[in-house]
A = this chain, B = another copy of it.
């Protein structure tokens, strides 16, 4: 399997799924539905398998080849199936491995038109959930799609009603889960899978330094819009990779789009007045994050300029301003600066406090002493 395909960002994977659906290609969709033990990827991770190869990843690489082989059978049979691999300490090579140690259950299904609404919703930027039978008296892969508050599809309404609350919860929190539903014919296991649109990053700026930010943000699955002020500064080459490039005036920022709290703004116009107007406009929207490039002193000067106009900031506004922008990683090359910015976008979007993961679990020394014989 090609490694670039394996590590495909989710948006590109959905693009592939959409293209396969549109072309009517033979393809199998493999979705992790359950994991026990140490997993590299979580339930909901997907892989698209076509006769000429696979895209996306469902483990750290330990099952992809087997899943691809199995996909051939699924295509030939034209029927979905659920397969479980128990990788717990079964041999020297993978025993105690990371992401290859555990019990992994995967749904494999011929990709069919009933998946089209999922791709379409994601493209429109709307959350959508699938509810799919993975065990019980109903055929495997019997499915309904939940979007806009209602189910459409093959699931009996009794089952749909029973899992509605789960679908709602997962849509807002993200994630995937298996729910058991009692039916007159017996217990049905339904895999509820929330497919949320990627978080949105809007970058204000049109300098050379925008492009590395766009490139890195795309790799980690943000949808990226670049806003350039004064049409003349727009240079597509500089923002290649952006999903959207908009030419606008600083006065239009608030009306530029529907802003929401899963949108993250990076302000790097390199122009004091433009940055100030942009900041002011963004704070009038629900955006979760306004990262402002430049030293703290520059923001303080900006705040003074605001104060002269009687504009002060509330705590809810200050909480959303991050300046100097970025996580403290060091380095001053364009990619290093961009790396620090996108690290912060990830942390804020995922509601994480950036720091060493090792520290989060407590000092390694203490653990050691506590466990030492």
Contacts and interface: CB of A to CB of B under 8 A. Distances in A.
Contact of A298 (B96, B303, B318): B96
6 contacts: A64-B208, A95-B273, A96-B273, A219-B339, A220-B331, A299-B364
Which 6 residue pairs are nearest across A and B when measured between Cβ atoms? Answer: A330-B350, A96-B272, A7-B334, A98-B294, A61-B208, A329-B346
Given A64-B208, A365-B315, A355 B355 contact: yes
A136 interface: no
Interface residues of A, number: 105
Contacts of A237: 2-3
Nearest to A323: B358
Contact of A346 (B208, B339, B347, B361): B339
A271 interface: yes
A208 B60 contact: yes
Contacts of A338: 7
A340 B327 CA distance: 11
A10 B96 contact: no
Interface of A: 1-4, 6-7, 9-10, 38, 40-42, 45, 57, 60-62, 64, 92-101, 207-209, 211-212, 216, 219-221, 235, 237-238, 240, 268, 270-273, 293-296, 298-301, 303-304, 307, 312-313, 315, 318, 321-340, 342-344, 346-347, 349-358, 360-361, 364-365, 367-368, 371-373
Most buried by B among A2, A41, A93, A334: A334
Contacts of A60: 207-209, 270
Contacts of A221: 331, 333, 335-336
Nearest to A269: B97
Contacts of A353: 328, 355
Contacts of A344: 356-357
Given A57-B208, A96-B301, A339-B220, A347 B330 contact: yes
A96 B335 CA distance: 23
B208 A304 contact: no
A96 B240 CA distance: 27
